[in-house]
Amino acid sequence: MINIVLYEPEIPQNTGNIMRTCSVFRIKLHLIEPLGFTLDEKHLRRSGLDYRKDLDYTVYHDWESFRKDKEGQFVFFTRYGMKSFEECVFDPSQDIYMVFGKESTGIDKQILKENLDSCYRIPMRDDARSLNLSNCVAIGAYECLRQTGFDGLSDREVIKGADYILKC
């Protein structure tokens, strides 16, 4: 199972967009408190649209509560990663947890220190501070899905039909 973990997210629009991404890719979302918003906030609802009803998510009080009984591959996305994202190999034989930090300060530095071998940086300009959180999640999720074969996802237009464009 593929999982996205948001460590103390602060911006409701980012989290709403990530909820939508997780929903359409059938990825479980884990939210670690404190959150910088409430889950019923207007901006969160607007970003997540009607995908929230299909979203599998859990909220945890803190990092320790989340980590309890979790086994699998943990991948930390951070600007402090010592490995390039292109080096990350996702292992579909176990649960995969992609961890992303809060918008202002990222993942707690002690957590990163304890997991240095699993910390990756998405390549970007060297004079840029960071990418948008929801964009980083989309990049990570898509690469994980690509490496693991897009299991259970459709590569054809189903709602309007595979031949929709020919009928226009």
User: Would you list the domain boundaries of the chain?
Assistant: 2-167
The yes-or-no verdict on residue 152 having pLDDT over 90 is no
Cα torsion 66, 67, 73, 78: sign: positive
Which pLDDT band, with edges at 50, 70 and 90, does 44 fall under?
low
CATH topology of domain 2-167: Alpha/beta knot (3.40.1280)
Residue 145 is classified by DSSP as H
| Range with lowest mean pLDDT among 10-14, 32-36, 46-50, 57-61 | 46-50
**Which DSSP helix (H) or strand (E) runs through 23?**
helix 12-25
Closest CA to 105 of 126, 78, 128: 78
Interstrand relation of 96-100 and 73-77 (parallel, antiparallel or unpaired): parallel
Check residue 127 and give its pLDDT.
92
| Range with lowest mean pLDDT among 11-15, 55-59, 81-85, 162-166 | 162-166
Which pLDDT band, with edges at 50, 70 and 90, does 166 fall under?
confident
- Is residue 26 left, alpha or beta, with left meaning phi > 0 and alpha meaning psi from -120 to 50? left
Q: How many CB atoms lie within 10 A of CB 78?
A: 21
Interstrand relation of 83-84 and 73-77 (parallel, antiparallel or unpaired): unpaired
27-41 pLDDT, tens digit per residue, is 999 999 999 988 876
